[in-house]
Amino acid sequence: MSDIKVAVLGATGRMGTQACAAVEAADGLRLVARLGRGDTVSAETLAGADVAVDFTVPAVTEANVHAVLDAGAHAVVGTTGWDDASRARVSAHLAELSPGGSGSTGALGVLIAPNFGLSAVLAMTFAAKAARYFESAEVVELHHPNKVDAPSGTARHTAAAIAGARAEAGRGPSPDATETGWEARGADVDGVRVHAVRLRGLVAHEEILFGNEGEQLIIRQDSFDRASFMPGVLLAVRSVVSRPGLTVGLENVLDLS
């Protein structure tokens, strides 16, 4: 079988640098393009890539994905900043390119993963399972101080999954008597409070707290090094070529959903 040709967008960034090195060291993958700020994304600059991996910034990631699809390549996206509307536009674009349906031969795939770390993917999965059993749920994400967005994409994905599980179980809002000082209670993501810490020395960490009368469950994951994301990135690249349509979350590839 021939190598999967890979382009990396945001190639000189913290994640892009590691992704390039991981692709170069991986069996069956071949790095064919490194794109950075100021480079146009086109069939020409992607240099025949089968898959483009995006680790750029929230402001440009959606446009990059549309350009990648127009160039005829699959996309693996780690960049944050996605919402229902941007995901729907990508789904519509995929449907336009493959009107025969998601099973069409050669149909393109886009895999957006808020977090490629196994510990984070498992933490989110466990949190979604636990959510229905607890009265209270809050999320704390902790990151390096160079991160430009808050709360993290991982925390948003976690909170949305918790909110979905609570709604399905018929649970109302977490009890909270706050009357003043709402600014100290974190962001509201689908009714779940999310707190963002930025601290020198940290990389990427998340704690999910659940409470009932007289008991507490804390699920915590830590990425101490960006190397922790690379097995997930490589898995996503290998998977997306045979996964037409839009997939959100590595848990789907790991069969954890």
Ligand X SMILES: O=C(O)C1=N[C@H](C(=O)O)C[C@H](O)C1
Ligand Y SMILES: NC(=O)C1=CN([C@@H]2O[C@H](COP(=O)(O)OP(=O)(O)OC[C@H]3O[C@@H](n4cnc5c(N)ncnc54)[C@H](O)[C@@H]3O)[C@@H](O)[C@H]2O)C=CC1
Residues that constitute the known binding site for NADP(+): 37
d(CA 23, CA 43): 20
**129 noted as active-site residue:** no
Residue 75 engages ligand Y in binding (rule: CB under 6 A):
no
d(CA 142, CA 133): 25
d(CA 81, CA 159): 15
Only segment of 97-105, 113-121, 133-141, 160-168 that touches ligand Y (CB under 6 A): 113-121
Identify what 60 binds: ligand Y, ligand X, none; CB under 5 to 8 Å per kind.
Answer: ligand Y
d(CA 242, CA 130): 32
Burial 34-47 (b: 16+ CB within 10 A, else e): bbeeeeebeeebbe
Only segment of 72-80, 103-111, 187-195, 210-218 that touches ligand Y (CB under 6 A): 72-80
**205 noted as active-site residue:** no
Shortest separation between residue 82's beta carbon and ligand Y, angstroms: 10
Peptide bond into 151 cis (omega under 30): yes
DSSP assigned state of 94: H
Shortest separation between residue 53's beta carbon and ligand Y, angstroms: 10
* Residue placing its CB nearer to ligand X in the complex, 50 or 206: 206
Pairing label, strands 51-54, 192-198: unpaired
Spatial contact of 16 and 33, defined as CB atoms under 8 Å apart: no
Q: Please report, in range form, the residues annotated as the binding site for (S)-2,3,4,5-tetrahydrodipicolinate.
A: 144, 153-154
Integer Rg of the chain from CA: 19
Task: Classify 120 as helix, strand or coil.
Answer: helix
Shortest separation between residue 115's beta carbon and ligand X, angstroms: 5
Considering only 36, 100, 145, 173, the residue that binds ligand Y (CB under 6 A) is: 36
d(CA 9, CA 56): 6
Q: Please report, in range form, the residues annotated as the binding site for NAD(+).
A: 10-15, 78-80, 113-116
Only segment of 84-92, 112-120, 213-221, 237-245 that touches ligand Y (CB under 6 A): 112-120
Shortest separation between residue 114's beta carbon and ligand X, angstroms: 5
Which of 5, 74, 93, 143 is catalytic? The answer is 143
How far is CA 33 from each of CA 65, 73, 227, rounded to the nearest angstrom? 16, 13, 21
Enzyme catalytic residues = 143, 147
Residues that bind ligand Y (CB under 6 A): 9-10, 12-16, 36-37, 55-58, 60, 78-80, 113-117, 153, 229
